[in-house]
Amino acid sequence: MAAPRFPFALRHHEFCMASPADPTPLIVLDGITKTYSGITALADAGLTIAAGEAVCLAGENGSGKSTLIKILAGVEQPDSGQIRISGVAQGALNPRLSAAAGIMVIFQDFSLFPNLSVAENIAFSIELGQRRKLFSAARVRDVAQRALARVGVDIDPDAAVETLSVAHKQLVAICRALASDARLIIMDEPTTALTEREVRALLDIIRRLKADGVAVLFVSHKLAEVLEVCEKVVVLRNGRKVAEGPAHTFDAATLTRYMTGRDVAEQPPDPLDPAAPVLMNVQGLSKQGAFDDVSFDLHAGEVLGISGLLGSGRTALAKALFGLVAPESGQITLAGRAVPLGDPLAAATAGVGYVPEDRLTEGLFLTQSIVRNVAIGRLDAHGRGGLLDLAGMWGEAADWLRKLSVKAPRIEAPVRSLSGGNQQRVVLARWLARGPRVLVLNGPSVGVDVGSKADIHGIIRDLSAQGLGVIVISDDLPELLATCHRILVMKAGRITDELTGGQTSETDLAHRLAS
């Protein structure tokens, strides 16, 4: 382990021994206030973390949790308030001081170097920290192997990081933090990209770290998965701490209530007309390594859920329905007509719409105006002899934005100026303007705050009432139960279960997904 460089690091080994009951907590944040150009991000917020303790920090987008991480990481300085590390009051933290104190942040993108080896990724920061000039592959490999052994995983230290799975990349990021003598690892949305099994493996590793005296702070808006390893939960709302308590006193419902400040009770969908005709038929759709022999019917006015864990093939199937992925065999018919496979334009022309999972990279043209983001869906329809009918285009876009109650000051403003929920509605407006017959929504409320989520569910309900077929692909079980008439469960590329929306409980669905 590296030689201590700062006074508080001298007592490092004591802290390794420390139990969560140690009287001096590892980190104390007290009365932290931070404003950005007049907008309060954090108001009198506090947080205490003991060595070896796992804490959940919950909050919606904009609740101030990212600001709190940045303050801990030394990237931002609070306007007022106190930070104590191991009982020592800190002046202004900066990234270097914070890292030297053992506070390591694992960002959602892991901040790894895809072109470098696992070993180098793990050892790079300590090599830098020791101000080394020369590089020794042997030493780096050694450091990496010790960190990998401490986590107890078997990853080839010479492999390039770009060849690893997401779960392994995350482990490399954890190893990097450990190699740099982490005493607190902050994990930003750690489970979003992991499969069920990978989450289990991660939790096991977290337990080992805790036993080793390392504290963990989970920052997430999807906390149910990590609650079991946590001692404590802290909920932020509008920059204030609104709840704090032992983890076992919280469940998904109470968390949601604290995060949103209201009860969001969702009604199950209105029953489907049993005489509704079949709108879309999928027959024997297969693609090697993704999905296998998938068949189902979608009725007019029906909301069909497709769920599965990460790696179950749900996303590939969703993309295949819209031609973004070309299946090797099978057939899709819409209203009796075959939809050409593997061609998004043909799928769209046939009446299929697709709202992608990753709004920022797949859904939106961030620098372009809101109007253009809506109109791109049917530019050809606005052509008048080769010319674009700009007024008509504007009118139509404004119309749809109003119908979906998008809150935008000016519709010629860039779409990136909107909130997550409003951005999602812009993508929806784009497709609704085309008058689709089937709408595929992949993760319709990912990264959308709880209030907007309910509104989006309301929109889905309205669309189905108008006779549209809606396919919702999601791993958010309450969302599926609140919106879908029927839910198909996918596992290893196949449909393994079919459940009726109103008659299924969340535990039953969870059980079927995982079993």
Partner 1 sequence: MKIDFTRNETLVALIILGFCVIATISDPGFLSMATLTDLMRGGIVMGIFAVAALLVLLSGGIDVSFTAVAAFAMYTTALMLNTWAPGVPWWAAFAVAMAVGALLGAINGIFIAFFGLPTLIVTLGTLSVFRGFMLAFVGSKQITTLPEGMREFGRMMMIRGTNPDGSFYSLHWAFAATVLVVVATWFLLHRTMLGRSIFAVGGSEESARRIGVNVRGVQFFVYVYVGVLAGLAGVIHASMARVANPFDLVGLELSVIAAVVLGGARLAGGYGTLTGTLLGVALIVLVRNSLIVIGIPNTWQSIAVGVLILIGTGVPAWQAKRAAARAA
Partner 2 sequence: MTPSRINGLFASTEARLAVICIVVFVAMALLSPDRFLSVQNLTSMAFQFPEFAILALAMTLTMLTGGIDLSVVGIANLSAIVAATILTQLAGPAATGADAALWLGLSMVATMAVGLAAGLFNGIAIAVFGLPPILATLGSGLIFTGIAVALTGGSAVMGFPAAAAWLGNGLILGIPVPLVLFAVLAAGLSFILTRTGFGLKVQMFGANPLAARFAAVNVTSVLIRVYLMSGMFAAIAGMVVMSRANSAKADYGSSYLLLAVLIAVLGGVNPYGGYGRVIGVVLAVLAMQFLSSGLNMMQVSNFARELIWGTLLIFVMLINTRPNLRLWARKRTGPAPNS
Interface ranges with partner 1 (CB under 8 A): 95-96, 99, 107, 111-116, 120, 124-125, 127-129, 132-135, 176, 287, 289-290, 316, 319-320, 325-326
Output 106 or 216, the one with its CB closest to partner 1. 106
Q: Which does 386 bind (CB under 5 to 8 A by kind): partner 2, partner 1, none?
A: partner 2
Least Å from the CB of residue 440 to partner 2? 11
- CB nearer to partner 2: pick between 367 and 507: 367
Out of 245, 261, 383, 392, point to the residue binding partner 2 (CB under 8 A): 383
Which tokens in the block code for residue 195?
């499969």
Using rule CB under 8 A, residue 110 touches partner 2: no
For 429, the token pair is: 């407006």
Binding-site partner at residue 1 among partner 2, partner 1, none, CB < 5 to 8 Å by type: none
Beta strand extents in 193-319 (DSSP E only): 215-220, 232-237, 240-246, 278-287, 291-299, 303-308
Per the CB < 8 A criterion, the answer to whether 323 and 344 are in contact is yes
Q: Considering CB under 8 A, how many residues would be counted as binding partner 2?
A: 28
Nearest by Cα to 47 from 36, 37, 55: 55
Which residue number, 250 or 291, has a Cβ lying nearer to partner 1?
A: 291
**Which one, of 163, 488, 452, lies nearest residue 321 by Cα?**
488
Asked whether position 388 contacts partner 2 by CB under 8 A, the answer is yes
Residue 215 binds which entry of partner 2, partner 1, none, with Cβ cut-offs from 5 to 8 Å by kind?
Answer: none
The partner in contact with residue 364, picked from partner 1, partner 2, none with C-beta cut-offs of 5 to 8 angstroms by kind, is partner 2
Q: Within 10 Å of residue 406's Cβ, how many Cβ atoms? A: 23
The item of partner 2, partner 1, none sharing an interface with residue 113, based on CB under 5 to 8 Å by kind, is partner 1
In 3D space, the residue among 57, 470, 477, 486 whose CA is nearest the CA of residue 259 turns out to be 57
Q: What letters, b where the CB count within 10 A reaches 16 and e where it falls short, cover 259-269?
A: bbeeebeeeeb
Tokens of 7: 């006074």
3-state secondary structure of 178: helix
Nearer to partner 2, 430 or 485 (CB): 430
| DSSP-assigned letters across all residues of 249-272 | G--HHHHHHHHHSS----PPPPPP
494 near partner 2, rule: CB under 8 A:
no
Cα–chain-centroid distance for residue 434? 29
State which of residues 21, 134, 138, 387 lies at the interface with partner 2 (CB under 8 A): 387
List CB contacts of 137: < 8 A, sequence separation 6 or more. Answer: 119
Binding partner at 486 among partner 2, partner 1, none, C-beta below 5 to 8 Å by kind: none
Identify residues 279-338 at the interface with partner 2 (CB under 8 A). 324
Q: Which does 382 bind (CB under 5 to 8 A by kind): partner 2, partner 1, none?
A: partner 2
326 contacts which partner out of partner 2, partner 1, none, CB within 5 to 8 A by kind?
Answer: partner 1
User: Which of 23, 271, 386, 409 lies at the binding interface for partner 2 (CB under 8 A)?
Assistant: 386
- Assess 108 for contact with partner 2 (CB under 8 A): no
**Nearest distance, CB of residue 252 and partner 2, angstroms:** 31
The arrangement of strands across the sheet holding 278-287 comes to 291-299, 278-287, 329-334, 337-338
Binding mask 346-375 for partner 2 (x = CB under 8 A): -xx-----x-x----xxxxxxxx---x--x
**Angle at the Cα of 57 from the Cα atoms of 155 and 146, rounded to 5 degrees:** 25
Residues 411-440 that bind partner 2 (CB under 8 A): 430
**Which among partner 1, partner 2, none contacts residue 159 (Cβ within 5 to 8 A by kind)?**
none
The full DSSP string for 343-393 is -HHHHHHHTEEEE-S-IIIII--TTSBHHHHHHGGGTGGGEETTEE-HHHH
> For residues 160 and 278, which CB has a smaller minimum distance to partner 1 in the complex?
160
Residue numbers at the binding site for partner 2 (CB under 8 A): 324, 344-345, 347-348, 354, 356, 361-368, 372, 375-377, 379-380, 382-383, 386-388, 390, 430
